[in-house]
Amino acid sequence: MKIYISGPVTGQPIEETKKKFAQAAKQVEAFGHTPVQPFDNNLEWNATWEEWMVADIALLFKCDGIYLLKDWKSSSGARIEHFIANERGMEIIEQPKI
């Protein structure tokens, strides 16, 4: 299955955020799935929030499920992505809060 990784990006330090998503991608791979993350959308870091959301939602629609990072609820974009995944009946997996 293709699993979209969702969590806070806007306003976060780019390198730290990329590391967090890379770690989540490894977790998704460990479950035997193919990870898809916002950084796969080929946008520049300085693209607008709206551009990011349109590109990310397009990626989400190509996936079978969503993997929510521990702090996903602090992100309005991630909450929107969760809503879409839920409405579409996609598998929803939350990152363990260890």
Q: Say how many C-beta atoms besides its own lie within 10 A of residue 3's C-beta.
A: 24
User: In the predicted model, is pLDDT for residue 98 greater than 80?
Assistant: no
The pLDDT of residue 70: 95
Per-residue pLDDT of 6-63, as tens digits, reads 999 888 888 999 999 999 999 999 999 999 999 888 888 888 999 999 999 999 999 9
Whether this prediction's pTM lies above 0.85 is answered by yes
**What string of H, E and C letters represents the secondary structure of 43-85?**
CCCCCCHHHHHHHHHHHHHCCCEEEECCCHHHCHHHHHHHHHH
Residue ranges of domains in the chain, CATH in brackets: 2-94 (3.40.50.450)
pLDDT grade, residue 96 (50/70/90)?
confident
The pLDDT of residue 65: 98
Q: Average pLDDT, stretch 52-77? A: 96
